[in-house]
Structure 1
Amino acid sequence: MDDGRVVALHRSAEHTFSKQPHAQLRLVAGLGVEGDAHAGATVRHRSRVAQDPTQPNLRQVHLVAAELLDELVEAGFAVAPGDLGENVTTRGLDLLSLPVGTVVALGDETRIGLTGLRNPCAQIESFSPGLLERVVGRGDDGAVVRRAGVMGVVLAGGDVRVGDRVRVALPPLPHAPMERV
């Protein structure tokens, strides 16, 4: 499956809501984005560290589809790549439809194993009032629908650049839908 491109890359050494743009990022196997506050083998998200700092970090890399950002801009929100705290912004790939365990290849070297859906916190409302209800809602069946991107762990490290090709390898059947992580 050859589905998309990397359109933007971001990282922040501090625990900030939005991340700064970079033309290139280095991903480190088992840790995440080099120089990013969320990189590490164990959890780095502050609320999860407070619960149990020994938990494995299933949120090493955050990916968001540029199509979501386009939709939010059309709805009147001033949002750009990196504003939602993602490390990688893609185009041409329906990230949210992929099952747990999908391997996403960015460029020639890196591989990310998808672990689940991002569950945005209340900070998203501080960034832009009304945004939370646009990225978390309810489906026709009443189930919670999360659209704020997907999370993954770095399986194979290397450099990722804006413009790199994105390829997808689905896990063996049966596929399990992603849940919040």
Structure 2
Amino acid sequence: MSKGEHAQIVAVAADRAHRFAKPCRAEIRLIAGLGVEGDAHLGRTVQHRSRVAKDPSQPNLRQVHLLHSELFDELSARGFVVGPGELGENVTTRGIALLDLPEGSVLALGDEATIRVTGLRNPCLQIDRLRKGLMAATLDRAADGSLVRKAGVMAIVLTGGVVRPGDAVHVVEVPAHPRPLGMV
């Protein structure tokens, strides 16, 4: 990002049904403690089908899925054309290194909403249903050989509010004792 630019929201998406891709919207409303209004993953307890099957009483640490649009640029260079909402994210950003944030970081989205980052989204085989080979393209290896998951981060809603494309996104708080993001 060059001087004078700021991180922003590129797109927002929600879907009432449990489908992989989510249609983009003009705006979404975040509801504190629940997630995205009108989205299939809204709730205090886990809503992702595979997690509900294991234990439906688990807290929902995946209320909001954020994805950096820079991943689309990277995927495009590898021959995969993917756009906002297609990987199931609710909020597509540009100019903020989501994957570098420590667990517990608080982000402000637009003028009202705040969220707390809970962890990494683990890419699943549904990504390959969108484009064959796409899941592997969302994974990488760090210099130490560890797996790098690039399919975005998950968060819970602290303060509700309306979020729109073009809104600013910025880090409000980083934990005093930061821990790297794990899968949630």
Aligned position for 1:112: 115
The separation in 2 between residues aligned to 1:120 and 1:38, in whole angstroms, is: 16
RMSD: 1.2
User: Which stretch shows the higher mean deviation, 70-79 or 43-52?
Assistant: 70-79
Cα drift, residue 138 of structure 1: 2.6
Aligned position for 2:19: 16
Count of residues in Structure 1 that have an aligned counterpart in Structure 2: 180
1:65-116 Cα offsets, whole Å, 9 max, x none, are 0111111112111210110000000011010000001111001100010000
- TM-score (normalizing by structure 1): 0.96
The separation in 2 between residues aligned to 1:9 and 1:98, in whole angstroms, is: 20
Contact 2:29/2:161 (8 A) holds in 1: yes
Cα drift, residue 3 of structure 1: 4.6
- TM-score (normalizing by structure 2): 0.95
Aligned position for 1:83: 86
* Aligned partner (choices 25, 28, 36) of residue 33 of structure 1: 36
Aligned position for 2:47: 44
Cα drift, residue 121 of structure 1: 1.1
Greater share of residues in strand: 1
Aligned position for 1:132: 135
Instruction: Provide the identity percentage.
Output: 57
Q: Give the letter for the 1:164 counterpart.
A: D
Contact 1:3/1:168 (8 A) holds in 2: no
1:12-50 Cα offsets, whole Å, 9 max, x none, are 111111000101000000000000001100000000000
Gaps in structure 2 of 5+ consecutive residues: none
The separation in 2 between residues aligned to 1:38 and 1:171, in whole angstroms, is: 26
